[in-house]
Structure formats: C-alpha cells, structure tokens
Amino acid sequence: MDRSRVLRFLSQVETCRVVLLMVLVVAFVSGLQYFELAPVLSIVSPGNGTVSEYRESNDTTKSTENETFLASQEASTELKPYNNITSEVLKSSEHKFLNDSPKIEASGQSRRSNETASSLHSLQPRIPQIHKKYPHRSTKKPPVVVISITQMNKMILKRHNDPKNSLAPRWGLKVDEELRTARDKIKNVGLLKKDDNLYAPLYHNLSIFKRSYELMEQTLKVYIYSEGDRPIFHQPEAIMEGIYASEGWFMKLMESNHRFLTKDPNIAHLFYLPFSTRILQQKLYVHDSHSRRNLVKYLKNYLDLIASNYPFWNRTRGSDHFFTACHDWAPAETRGPYINCIRSLCNADVGVDFVVGKDVSLPETKISSSQNPNGNIGGNRPSKRTILAFFAGNLHGYVRPILLNQWSSRPEPDMKIFNRIDHKSYIRYMKRSRFCVCAKGYEVNSPRVVESVLYGCVPVIISDNFVPPFLEILNWESFAVFVPEKEIPNLRKILISIPVRRYVEMQKRVMKVQKHFMWHDGEPVRYDVFHMILHSVWYNRVFQTF
Ligand SMILES: *[C@@H]1O[C@H](CO)[C@@H](O)[C@H](O)[C@H]1NC(C)=O
Ligand SMILES: *[C@@H]1O[C@H](CO)[C@@H](O)[C@H](O)[C@H]1NC(C)=O
Ligand SMILES: *[C@@H]1O[C@H](CO)[C@@H](O)[C@H](O)[C@H]1NC(C)=O
Ligand SMILES: *[C@@H]1O[C@H](CO)[C@@H](O)[C@H](O)[C@H]1NC(C)=O
Ligand SMILES: *[C@@H]1O[C@H](CO)[C@@H](O)[C@H](O)[C@H]1NC(C)=O
Ligand SMILES: *[C@@H]1O[C@H](CO)[C@@H](O)[C@H](O)[C@H]1NC(C)=O
Ligand SMILES: *[C@@H]1O[C@H](CO)[C@@H](O)[C@H](O)[C@H]1NC(C)=O
C-alpha cells in the first residue's frame, strides 16, 4: 500500500569490493547465504491515492462456492483439524525445495572438543569466521533457492536440537543454568491439559508453547542499557504509527515493562538494544547518497560503547542481545557486528541472512492511529465472504507486476486483483474476501499478513523465503496458504481446490490467532503481539544456550 519509504540502494558496490567479514555459520546450504553487497536504490514516487482501479461492481456477489454449504459448515465445530493444506494443494506442482538436511558449516563444529576454560571467553558461539564473497541479491529478481515453509520448520527444529545444546553452559553463569533448566522443562513437558484460551490446532505443539510461555513469565529478565542517544534510541513516541510501527510499539512496551525488566544486568537473560531503524534512516540517511555507511557506523559506535562499558557484549559476542527492527534496510544495517544478536526483523528473508531458530520474524503491523492500534478489526463470516481472492497495492518489486498481469484483467470475477485502491475500499475488500493475497513488495514482508488476520481473511502468502511471524510456535500451514511465486498463474486453481470445509476451518483458525497479533496500550495483555515477540526471542535464546 502506501509505503512512503521510497529509497532503495543502487548497484554500485561492484567497484567497492567491500570485504565482508561476517558469514553465517548456520544450518543453511551455503548457497543461500548471500549478502546484499550491492543494495539497490531506486526512487519511487509515493502513490497519490488514486482510486481509479477500484472497480466496485455487482459481480462481486458471484461466488465460486456453495453458499448454503458454507453457512452450514460455519456453525460446525466438529471439524477435524488438519495440517496439510499447503502440501496437498501444492503437491501437484513440482517445486524445487531444498533437500531435508541442510549442511552445517564445518567451522563451528570441531572446535568444541579443544576448548580450555581459559579460552572460553575468547571463543564465540556461532561466530562467522569465513571470509566469503556473496553474490549480489537483487530485489528485482526471484531468489535462486526457495525454501518452503515446511523446510523452515525443519530447520528450526534442527537448530534447536543441536547436540551442542546439551553441553554444559559455557560461562557457568546462573542465568545459563536457568536457561538450561527452562529448556529441559520445555523438552520434557509431556501433554499439558487443554487451555480454553489457546486453540491447539494453531500451534506446532501447544504443550510446548504453554510451558515455554509460563517459564518466560516466571523466569525471564531483560536488561536495557541506558546508553544511546535520542531520538534514534529510547524514543518510541516518534514511531507509533505507520508501517514500521511495530519497532516503536515494542520499544515503548518493553521500556515501560514491569514484569520482565531488571536493573541488574548480572541476572539478565537477554539484553535489549532499544533503537529504531526507521528513525535512524530518517535522521541519518543522506538523500540521494545511495549509501548506508553512516547509518551502519552509527550503530557500530553504539556497540563499541556498550562493549567497552560492560562485560556482557564480549561475553557472548552479542548472542544474548536482541533488538526489533522493521525498516527494510535493517537486515543490511545489522549484519556487521550485530550478526550474532537475536535480530527481530520485519524483513525476515531466509534467502538472505535471516537465521530461522535464532532470528525472530517481527510482525509488520500497519498502524493508522496510535489510539487504535488494531484498526477496525473484524470482518464477514465465511458465508458472507463472496470474493474468492483480493489483492491491492502499488507495483513494488517483481512479484506484483506478474500478479497483476495474470489476474487483474481476467474474466474471473471472483479474483479482485488491483493496483492501488483507496484505504476504505481496501479494508472493505479484506472483510469480504475469503483469501487475501500477501504478495512480496520490494522485500518479503507485507503489512497484509497481519491485516488479513485482523480482518478474518485467510492469508495467501506469495513471497518466496518469507519467514512468517512466530513460526517457532505457530503452525502457519494450518491457517494460511503459501503459494510459490512461480505458481501465480495457478493461483485461482489452487484456491478453489481448497474444499469449503477446509476453508471454514482455516478461517476459524485465523480468528483464533488474532489475539497474537494485537497491540495493547499501557499494560500488554497475555499472549498479545508484544508478548509473542518477546516469547519468540526467549524461545530461541532458550534453545541455543551454547
Ligand atoms: C495523481 O493525482 C492526480 C490528480 O489527483 C493525477 O492527475 C495524477 O495522474 C496522479 N498521479 C499518479 C502517479 O497517479
Ligand atoms: C448493479 O446492480 C444495480 C441494482 O441491483 C444496477 O442498477 C446496476 O446497474 C448494477 N451495476 C452493474 C455494474 O452491473
Ligand atoms: C450445495 O451444497 C449442498 C450440500 O453439500 C448440496 O446438496 C447442493 O447440491 C449444493 N448446491 C450446488 C448448487 O452445488
Ligand atoms: C497430509 O497429506 C499427506 C499427503 O497428501 C497424507 O499422506 C497425510 O496423511 C496427511 N496428513 C494429515 C494429518 O492429514
Ligand atoms: C587441541 O589444540 C592443541 C593445540 O592448541 C592441538 O595440539 C591438539 O591437536 C588439539 N586437539 C584436538 C582434538 O583438536
Ligand atoms: C508436544 O511435545 C511434547 C514434548 O516433546 C510431547 O511429549 C507431546 O507429545 C507433544 N504433543 C503433541 C500433541 O505432539
Ligand atoms: C570487549 O572487546 C573489545 C574489542 O575486542 C574491547 O575493545 C573492549 O575493551 C572489551 N570490553 C571489555 C569490557 O573488556
């Protein structure tokens, strides 16, 4: 929609040959891990809110499904849960996914056996050691390697079950012991009893989530460094609205939190770095400079300060530090010395350098009014959702032009695929459509994912390598449809092949998952989006205590 951020970086760095020192030592096939050596900048004029593409017509009431059947299914709560929607829908389409066991880079593995107590402090967990050149990743072309959501789930499990987790804590600290205890308790949870507030089919494993969440409430302590100048640090007020607002909301709720904060860094399990990547860009990016260098420098200076004033950063090289960052440039800005942090990023692209199981996908929540952060939540019942699929948005990136070319002028009246439309119509469509297409823009993320959920529309994610929020916990395939970019021509076929019964259950799950995507001003509420972000950070921390 109206992404007002307009600048992207230009291919210009071929000449610079910057030698990047950081490389991912993670459970990826190495081919995945390209760096954005040459960020692309192009100037796009912000849309001016034309409504011309909005075609309201009577044919929207045409439906592909049998309305009576829909209505009868809605009432039924006896439907079997299913977890299979994408695999079934997509099994017809041959897709090149990674094989099941991504290689682990060798360097991190062999060294453990040879550590001595005295060397421990100088050894860093999972520190990138390899100097490697990465191909330029263009935001104008599809990724070379596509990782399916199923594959990402496996990668998380693999990382969290790494045998190194069962080794003794590195630093013999009390906090490490506490994390270890928490991990054992989560792993051995068995079956907890049902919880009326949590709908089991939404989760990979509800017992694990519940136990982990409760342990977070009982155990977690977060320390916030007081260093950091305003407005880039410590000033969430300036970033409470717009498409980057989640970094502001998180910062505000974290800094004012009563439950999790500690003033004693020695008992902290996590260290929060309270900066806004949006304000960083607004304050420091030199218009037309095509360079992020001073932004990166600013963040580096901050770390130097933290590392010299406190022992905590050096102790783990940042792996118990975290931040939330919603600006598109955040991954590139934080891959230098910040690469070991638990990076909570809106731009969560597993094809670049987002590490599933370590980093955390930050929901992009577009907030129009900070008084009412969740918007005019709600939408029609399934039987009153007469439009099969809806999308509207500017033609950012390479996916949307394909989507519009394929679908905007086709005869099928149940496909409402538009260029930009006005906001009111956009919301009305979301509330009346069965499926809402969340197509990649310049980057993998889109505010449509959370919007779909809040308006009760089943998300259809067309964004290869996007890591959806809370993937550690949520079984996304049970309530969203993931359509590979190259399947855009089959979009309608894929959607109408989903049986009504399944659709109704999916939609129900979307309604049930809403609470995990809602902000609450003042005191955050149990299981809301603030707590879910914090929980994912906690969970990934607990499962990598080495
Ligand atoms: C912007 O709006 C004006 C009139 O409101 C219109 O003439 C112009 O074509 C629009 N520009 C774009 C880029 O849509
Ligand atoms: C829509 O329906 C109304 C009455 O139901 C009719 O007057 C109008 O012409 C229709 N519009 C289109 C575009 O079919
Ligand atoms: C609608 O669904 C009902 C129940 O499955 C079925 O009996 C009826 O024939 C269907 N009608 C149409 C038009 O498909
Ligand atoms: C999932 O789909 C596969 C293949 O379509 C099938 O063999 C399996 O039984 C399904 N699992 C569930 C839980 O429905
Ligand atoms: C451990 O390191 C020492 C030298 O620091 C080396 O001689 C020895 O071979 C190493 N042992 C293993 C198991 O790598
Ligand atoms: C959830 O995980 C626990 C611990 O690994 C396991 O005992 C339990 O059976 C799992 N529950 C489900 C529903 O898979
Ligand atoms: C942490 O490491 C950096 C660089 O190696 C060093 O300059 C700094 O003094 C260290 N901090 C502490 C508290 O020892």
| pLDDT, tens digit, 9 for 90 and up, residues 73-108 | 333 333 333 333 333 333 333 232 222 222 322 233
Average pLDDT (139-152) is: 90
Q: What is the pTM of this model?
A: 0.72
* Ligand 5 atom index nearest CA of 111: 14
Q: What would the two tokens of residue 537 be?
A: 């950070």
pLDDT of the residue at 546: 56
Residue 330 has pLDDT above 60, yes or no: yes
Q: Which of 51-60, 209-218, 272-281, 507-516 has the lowest mean pLDDT?
A: 51-60
Q: What would the two tokens of residue 453 be?
A: 């959920």
Cα–Cα dist 86/28, whole Å: 23
pLDDT of the residue at 136: 46
DSSP tag of 350: T
Residue 529 has pLDDT above 80, yes or no: yes
Is the shortest distance between the CB of 116 and ligand 5 below 6 Å?
A: no
The answer to whether the CB of 239 falls within 8 A of the CB of 346 is no
394 CA from centroid of ligand 6 (Å)? 43
Ligand 1 shell residues, CB under 6 Å: 48, 50
pLDDT of the residue at 171: 61
Closest protein CA for atom 13 of ligand 3: 66
Question: Where residue 172 falls among pLDDT bands split at 50, 70, 90?
Answer: low
Is the shortest distance between the CB of 113 and ligand 2 below 6 Å?
A: no
Q: What would the two tokens of residue 491 be?
A: 């979009």
The answer to whether the CB of 303 falls within 8 A of the CB of 314 is no
Residue 24 has pLDDT above 50, yes or no: no
N- to C-terminal Cα separation, the chain: 42
Residues pairing with 101 in the sheet? none
Residue 25 has pLDDT above 60, yes or no: no
Residue 59 has pLDDT above 90, yes or no: no
Residue 338 has pLDDT above 50, yes or no: yes
Nearest Cα neighbor of 436 from 458, 405, 406 is 458
44 CA from centroid of ligand 1 (Å)? 14
Closest protein CA for atom 13 of ligand 6: 205
Which residue among 43, 50, 51, 54 is best mutated to probe the pocket of ligand 1, counting the most ligand atoms within 8 A of its Cβ? 50
Residue 113 has pLDDT above 60, yes or no: no
Q: Which of 70-79, 209-218, 339-348, 351-360 has the lowest mean pLDDT?
A: 70-79
In whole angstroms, how far apart are CA 194 and each of 198, 508, 531? 8, 18, 20
The answer to whether the CB of 237 falls within 8 A of the CB of 274 is no
Cα–Cα dist 422/167, whole Å: 56
Residue 233 has pLDDT above 70, yes or no: yes
The answer to whether the CB of 200 falls within 8 A of the CB of 473 is no
Q: Which of 77-91, 207-221, 462-476 has the lowest mean pLDDT?
A: 77-91
* Ligand 7 atom index nearest CA of 309: 13
